[in-house]
Structures are given as C-alpha cells and as structure tokens.
Structure 1
Amino acid sequence: MKTIFSAILMVVFAMGIHAQNRLENAKKQASDNKELILLNFSGSDWCIPCIKLHKNIIGSDEFKKLETDNVVVYINADFPRNKKNQLSPELKKENASLADQYNPKGIFPYTILLNSDGKILKSWEGLPSENATVFVREIRDIKDNQKL
C-alpha cells in the first residue's frame, strides 16, 4: 500500500513539474547563454493573424538567425482547434499554464519578449505591424540594451 501511494505521489509531482518544463528550460538556457525568451501564443489552425505571423516573421530566415545567434530562445504556446492538430495532453496543460501566467486575456496572436527571469520586456498584441527585418532588429536592440 505504501508503494502504491508513493508511486501516485511521484506521478502527480512529475505532472506538476512538467507543466512549466519548456519555460524553465528556456529560462536556464537563456541565463546560461545570455539570451532572451520569445513566447508566442497562437492558434495555428484557426487564427489568420497567427498563421501570417508564423509565415512572414517566425518562419523567416532573419528570425531563425535570432535562434542560431543565441539572441532568443523561442517557445510557441499553440492552441489548435482541429482534431487532427491536437497536442499531447502534457503540452496542452503546459500551454494552458503559460497562458494563465502570461496571457490571461486570451489574445491571439500574443508575443512576449522575456528576460531569463521571465520578466516581460516587450509585448505585441495581434499581428505585429512591422516586417520580419524590423521585428528582428527590435529584438536585437532590446537584447543589446539589456544587462544580462
């Protein structure tokens, strides 16, 4: 009986830890590499501005260079609606936890630039008006002005 109770506690505890796994990993990586964290809330299969953001900015070579140059750690908290695009229960729970913490109004798309401690440095509600080059330059400027 004691073993079963211990096993149940371990499973519950492990599920709680996993809920913030990507963010905690991103914070550690950002701290270790002096990077920022870009957290994006999207509805990849129903939100037209989200789809445009990913196609025109997140998917651009300029944005990808932010990751390879150790400027940002990117996290996408996706909330798809179509059955074929559903996420694992763990990822759904983690995205919901991220939304509770950083997007309680449920704005889509909503993009947040965080420091390695999780403090919000800049946010974009909806589709950013700038193109990928200007968006990336703004992030680089913010990083250059940070005392990491």
Structure 2
Amino acid sequence: MKKFILALAFTLGFIGVNAQEQEWYTDMNKAVEQSVATKKPLMLFFTGSDWCGWCMKLQKEVFKTEEFTTWAKENVILVELDFPRRKEQPQEIKAQNAQISQALKVRGYPTVWFVTAEKNAEGKTNLNALGNTGYVAGGPAKWIESANPFIKKS
C-alpha cells in the first residue's frame, strides 16, 4: 500500500510540475525575441484576469491542462495581455497591452490572437495576424482543434 501511495504522489507531483511549466510572457519584446528564435507564432491571450468570467473559464478548462501545456510548448509562444480592474500593473505593460489591443481591434474578452512577428530594418516589430478565437466549449481538445488552423499558416 505504501508503494502505491508513493507512486500516486510521485505521479500527481509530476503532473502538477508539468502543468506549471508554461511560460506566459507579459513583455512583448521578450516574447518576440523568443518567437523569432524558435520560429513559433505568438499566441496573444487578451484577458481581464480578475473580472472576466469567460477568461477564467478558458484558463481553468483549457490553459491550465496538461494537454494544452504540451500543445503550447510544441507550437506557440504564450503571451498574456491582461486588463485587470483590481490588480496593479506597471504603466509600461498597461500601455503595451492597450497598443496591441487597439492594433488588433480587440472588442471583447477573452480574445486569443495568433500572430507572427518580424523585426524590420529599424528594429521595430511588425505583427502579422494569422487569426483569432476565444472561448470554445468542449475542453482542451476542442480548443486546440479550433486553434490549429491558425498556427498551420505560419
């Protein structure tokens, strides 16, 4: 019985660690560097993390699952562009998030845009939109199925 409990604890601990290995960037410059280096598109998650119920539902049902974590590691660079109401946020992050939201014409939350990033001759970043989605009912498999056509374009 002790071996079973030990094995179960190890397995659950491994799953927990695996799910926590997601790296969500909040600084677009760092995310773009990673995207260019890995040749993976950016997945931009526009969220109201402390007030948007559908955003929280998407996080819980999809983004915090092992299936999504595995998919994301192989396919995209994760970027969270948060618009909280109660949490403090650095002014430069607020400005960055507002600028990107405006450029992509985000009208509601959650919105997930898939983009590729290119540095131009002046060192500025150009984002090329691949497509967008939001909350998709049915868990991680359904959400990933809806996202795959966008990343296959990159």
TM-score, normalised with respect to structure 1: 0.69
2:87 is equivalent to residue 78 of structure 1: no
In structure 2, the partner of 1:129 is 137
2:143 is equivalent to residue 103 of structure 1: no
TM-score, normalised with respect to structure 2: 0.67
In structure 2, the partner of 1:7 is none
Are the structure 2 counterparts of residues 104 and 123 from structure 1 closer, same or farther at C-alpha, using a change threshold of 3 Å? closer
Residue type matched to 1:75 in 2?
V
For the 8 Å contact 2:133–2:147, the answer to whether it is kept is: no
Could you say what the CA RMSD is over the residues aligned between the two structures, in angstroms?
2.2
In structure 2, the partner of 1:18 is none
Aligned partners of 1:35, 1:26: CA distance in 2, in Å? 10
The structure whose residues are more often helix, as a share, is 1
1:53 aligned residue (54, 58, 61): 58
- Per-residue CA shift, 1:85-106, capped at 9, x if unaligned? 221222111111111211353x
For the 8 Å contact 1:37–1:72, the answer to whether it is kept is: yes
In structure 2, the partner of 1:113 is 114
- Per-residue CA shift, 1:8-50, capped at 9, x if unaligned? xxxxxxxxxxxxx933432332222121110011111111101
